[in-house]
Amino acid sequence: MLCPEVWNFPPPKVIQSKKDNQNLESVKNTLNLNWFYKSVIVTCPDEIHTPSFIKEIVTENSDYYKLSSFSLTEFVEPAFIESFVKAGKLFCLSASRNCIIQNCAAVTPDGVLILHVLEHVYQTLGFEGKKRPFGYYEVKIDLKSIKRLEKVKIGLSKLELFDIYLIWEPQNEKPCSSSVVKYFHERGIKISVNSLDVKNISPKITEAPSVKDLDPQEITEWIGMLAHQTDLSPTEGYISSYSQPESENSLKTTRISLYIVKGFIPMSLVTKISEKLNAYVMSRETDHYWSAISVQSDENSPWQWNTSSPKMFQAQDSSCNVFFTHQNHVVHCIGQLKYS
């Protein structure tokens, strides 16, 4: 170690995938592959403010709840299953947990309780499960068809208490999504309301590169630089070797707006935003106009890389970027496993 490398580190190993010629349906399929996201960035070039109808979707659905010191046996209460699991979509995920060293749990919108537990805990529960990497087991309990409720309750009561993020989307308009709060409050469980963290930034740019003639990875990087409000044209190579992408068909505009939403974001919200964004792009008549939605995965949630890989809790960091254009949408996904 006479002369160790202290700068210009190689980038971490990441997996990338790029899909061209996508329509709205296939984009939605890609985004709906996973249930839990931690942030969404909506990029609209040639706008100072993100269109209000997109903002409205976020503000309408901005509340999510946090259950503190919650026993998972509450999820299998028949009253809860009847009035919430069967009557809507439930998104639950254990909060602030590291799935490489701690037990995790999630409830999926189709009503399945997924437990991600260490081997020695799994052996005491008495549930059938599948082996997972790093000495873990995955147990799936279908809440809609529990056969031996008492046994399930005994097993779940052996697990520790969790902090859980929760969102409930009712099937019908009638019961309000906040009725889940009333239910838990009446059962004496501490529940608090959190709101999505929303930020709107509109940095100054010289031009917006076009998706048509550039690799989506470069545009993703460019959006990332804008979202972090970094200097796009650094003068000194020692600090940053970044250079802006150049393209022939770039949009001649100095305006761009980025709408950054952070918090516990379910896939349904992402789908709604992407539908609106698609409609917005179609309404714009500028040539080669594009806008993008970028979603970041929750690092400790069940994750599926593609349709052929298993969905399981894995420590990963992943981002999916969708570029909506007039004709063909482009999907660029990039991700890495934290431990392998």
Which one of 14-22, 47-55, 123-131, 277-285 is the stretch in contact with other proteins (CB under 8 A)? 123-131
Tokens at 308, concatenated: 């052929």
- For residue 85, what are the contacts with CB-CB under 8 A and spacing of at least 6? 75, 107, 111, 143, 144
Q: Which residues pair with 31 in a beta bridge?
A: none
Of the residues 14, 48, 79, 154, which one makes contact with other proteins according to CB under 8 A = 154
Please, which of residues 39-58 interact with other proteins by CB under 8 A?
A: none
Give the separation between CA 267 and CA 77, rounded to whole angstroms. Answer: 26
Which one of 54-62, 101-109, 121-129, 167-175 is the stretch in contact with other proteins (CB under 8 A)? 121-129
Of the residues 123, 157, 254, 286, which one makes contact with other proteins according to CB under 8 A = 123
**φ, ψ dihedrals at 11, nearest 5°:** -70, 155
**φ, ψ dihedrals at 330, nearest 5°:** -120, 135
Q: How many residues in total does the chain contain? A: 340
Closest distance between other proteins and the C-beta of residue 128, in Å? 6
Give the separation between CA 297 and CA 273, rounded to whole angstroms. Answer: 16
Of the residues 122, 168, 280, 305, which one makes contact with other proteins according to CB under 8 A = 122
Residue 72 within binding range of other proteins, rule CB under 8 A: no
Closest distance between other proteins and the C-beta of residue 158, in Å? 9
Closest distance between other proteins and the C-beta of residue 129, in Å? 7
- Show the site string, 125-144: x = touches other proteins by CB under 8 A, - = not: xxxxx---------------
Question: Is residue 233 within 8 Å of 187, Cβ to Cβ?
Answer: no
Which one of 29-37, 110-118, 150-158, 219-227 is the stretch in contact with other proteins (CB under 8 A)? 150-158
CA dist 157 → 131, 183, 211 (Å)? 21, 20, 52
Of the residues 25, 52, 120, 147, which one makes contact with other proteins according to CB under 8 A = 120
CA dihedral angle for residue 279, residue 284, residue 288, residue 294, rounded to 10 degrees: -40
Per the rule left: phi > 0, alpha: psi between -120 and 50, beta: everything else, 202 is beta
Instruction: State how far Cα 193 lies from the chain centre.
Output: 19
Closest distance between other proteins and the C-beta of residue 132, in Å? 15
Give the separation between CA 149 and CA 77, rounded to whole angstroms. Answer: 9
Q: Which is nearer to other proteins, 155 or 302 (CB)?
A: 155
* % helix, strand, coil for the chain, step of 5: 25, 35, 40
Closest distance between other proteins and the C-beta of residue 117, in Å? 11
Q: Which is nearer to other proteins, 122 or 280 (CB)?
A: 122
| Separate counts of helices (H) and strands (E) for the chain | 8, 17
Please, which of residues 155-214 interact with other proteins by CB under 8 A?
A: 155
Q: Which is nearer to other proteins, 135 or 234 (CB)?
A: 135
**φ, ψ dihedrals at 92, nearest 5°:** -130, 140
Closest distance between other proteins and the C-beta of residue 148, in Å? 10
The residue assigned the tokens 């592959």 is 33
Closest distance between other proteins and the C-beta of residue 120, in Å? 7
Of the residues 16, 21, 69, 124, which one makes contact with other proteins according to CB under 8 A = 124
Site residue total, other proteins (CB under 8 A): 12
Closest distance between other proteins and the C-beta of residue 172, in Å? 38
Q: Which is nearer to other proteins, 126 or 133 (CB)?
A: 126
* Interface ranges with other proteins (CB under 8 A): 120, 122-129, 151, 154-155
